[in-house]
Amino acid sequence: GILQHPDGTVLKQLQPPPRGPREQEFYNKVYDSDCCDSILLELREYLPKYFGVWSPPTAPNDTYLKLEDVTRKFNKPCIMDVKIGQKSYDPYASAEKIQQQVSKYPLMEEIGFLVLGMRVYHVSSDSYETQNQHYGRSLTKETVKDGISKFFHNGYCLRKDAIAASIQKIEKILEWFEGQKQLNFYASSLLFVYEGSCQATTVRLSDVTLAEKRGVPKGLLSGGDILEYNNNIHVINSTENGKIEASVSKGLSKFYALHKKAYSKRHHSQLSLKVENLEQDNVWKSSTCIAQEHLNGNVIPQLEKVFCHMPAEIKESANVEVRMIDFAHVFPSNTKDEGYIYGLKNLITVLQNILDN
């Protein structure tokens, strides 16, 4: 498996020949300090950083690839490994190997990708749900959309912000593949990581009374604090002078507003806000009316900027990483990698359908 090095990197043990040396050669080529190939230089953006090989002092013959830990910056990382391409066997595979790989997931050629596993943090229960490769192989053309959407559901709501950000990152990788004919990738994966913790996207108020408690999931109220997650508007914090900072996810198709009654003794301010849920399309209902009583400082101008006039350039997307991993079956080529491109396009389509529906 993957080991963690004390310096914050991860260690992937080199596989037996020819797979291990082939993966090492791939990393060495892409990360060569003398590399001036624009295609390979751009490819670095979509891989974990590579720090050469490492061997433990007690076992100098054991070789590990030393790689960036893509999950390191996340508090509660949600992780999914998706194998991409129509074929999970390389051009040099034996007939026996081909039959073995095809039998594992006969739908690979039609769907173009396979979920190898996922680990999802559920906010409501403060626990992780894990699915292994058997889960991914059970998905059909009809159920793959629901199977993928499970990764983006935190037990409380669908993380549409993380889906939208993932699509953007996959599209960048697709652009790279559309523009290169040097390499073909087989049995390679995309690693998805997004922040599952609600701490980065919560409202924290010292004393809160809800107009309608049905807008708040069970288990999020504790010690007088409310931790509420809204799928598209994230109020980050309330600062000492009463200003409210917020970030609104990209791709906001409808106008959202929070309606909540809040009272803060420190600020001697009160916001009369009401939460309503639109059951017919499962989104937060918007309203342009925000009432105020005894507001301190410039809270209202801040609220107006947040909910009504948020400039596009300061909107932020979810904290998401999508990186290419597993390169034991990468081969030189003089044609586009149509199998990988097919898989990327189909995955984008599935994610877009999850967003749209």
pLDDT of residue 317: 58
Residues 105 and 33 in one domain: no
* Domain of residue 21, residue span: 1-69
Residues 106 and 146 in one domain: yes
Residues 35 and 146 in one domain: no
The answer, yes or no, to whether residue 109 has pLDDT greater than 60, is: yes
Structural domain includes residue 35: yes
Q: Give the chain's domain count.
A: 2
**159, 351 Cβ separation under 8 angstroms:** no
Give φ, ψ of 179 to 5 degrees.
-105, 10
Residues 33 and 83 in one domain: no
pLDDT of residue 11: 98
Residues 83 and 190 in one domain: yes
C-alpha span between 354 and 323 (Å, rounded) = 21
C-alpha span between 35 and 41 (Å, rounded) = 7
Angle, CA of 126, 128 and 132, to the nearest 5° = 170
pLDDT of residue 168: 98
Nearest to 320 by CA among 283, 351, 274, 285: 351
pLDDT of residue 99: 97
C-alpha span between 357 and 355 (Å, rounded) = 6
Nearest to 127 by CA among 166, 91, 156: 156
Nearest to 256 by CA among 161, 176, 343: 161
Residue the block writes with tokens 């947040």: 306
pLDDT of residue 199: 61
Residues 41 and 123 in one domain: no
Residues of the chain above pLDDT 90, percent:
65
pLDDT of residue 355: 97
Task: Determine the average pLDDT of the residues in 103-115.
Answer: 98
pLDDT of residue 21: 98
Residues 128 and 17 in one domain: no
Residues 161 and 86 in one domain: yes
How does DSSP classify residue 233?
Answer: E
Task: Determine the average pLDDT of the residues in 46-66.
Answer: 97
Structural domain includes residue 94: yes
With a CB cutoff of 8 Å and minimum separation 6, the contacts of 213 are: none
Condensed to tens digits (0 to 9), the pLDDT of residues 269-300 reads 333 333 333 333 433 333 333 333 333 444 44
Cα radius of gyration (the chain): 24
Condensed to tens digits (0 to 9), the pLDDT of residues 17-55 reads 999 999 999 999 999 999 999 999 999 999 999 999 999
C-alpha span between 329 and 326 (Å, rounded) = 8
The answer, yes or no, to whether residue 181 has pLDDT greater than 90, is: yes
Residues 52 and 190 in one domain: no
More confident residue, 270 or 157: 157
Residues 76 and 175 in one domain: yes
Among residues 17, 34, 69, which one ends one of the domains?
69
Nearest to 133 by CA among 117, 151, 146: 117
CATH number at residue 334: 3.30.470.160
Cα separation values, 56 from 7, 16, 69, 79, 334, Å:
14, 18, 18, 28, 39
Among residues 69, 95, 122, which one ends one of the domains?
69
The answer, yes or no, to whether residue 120 has pLDDT greater than 80, is: yes
The per-residue b/e assignment along 5-33, b for 16 or more CB within 10 angstroms, e otherwise, is: eeeebbbbebbeeebbebbbebbebbbee
pLDDT of residue 1: 77
Q: How many residues does the chain have?
A: 357
Q: What is the overall mean pLDDT for the chain?
A: 77
CB atoms under 10 Å from CB of 90, counted, come to 19
Residues 16 and 146 in one domain: no
Condensed to tens digits (0 to 9), the pLDDT of residues 183-233 reads 999 999 999 999 999 764 443 333 333 333 334 444 443 333 333 333 333
Task: Determine the average pLDDT of the residues in 302-311.
Answer: 35
More confident residue, 184 or 244: 184
Residues 39 and 177 in one domain: no
